Amino acid sequence: MTQQIEVAVPDIGDFKEVEVIELLAKPGDVVAKDQSLVTVESDKAS
């Protein structure tokens, strides 16, 4: 059975959606509090 855990993300401003471009943890990995899990990217120009 899969366990679901709520994960907080930083404020992304006016965006409703962002693209996940990298997963930093694999299924079954033990992760620490405040450890990054994904890298996201928005369409906003820098």
DSSP class of 4: P
Quote the CA–CA distance of 20 and 32 in Å, as a whole number. 20
**Type of residue at 30:** V
Task: Give the domain extent around 33.
Answer: 1-46
The tally of CA atoms less than 13 A away on the side-chain side of residue 44 is 11
Quote the CA–CA distance of 20 and 17 in Å, as a whole number. 10
The per-residue pLDDT for 42 is 80
Query: Each residue's pLDDT tens digit in the chain (46 positions)?
Result: 677 888 877 788 888 788 899 999 998 899 998 899 999 888 765 5
Quote the CA–CA distance of 36 and 24 in Å, as a whole number. 7
**Type of residue at 14:** D
Number of domains in the chain: 1
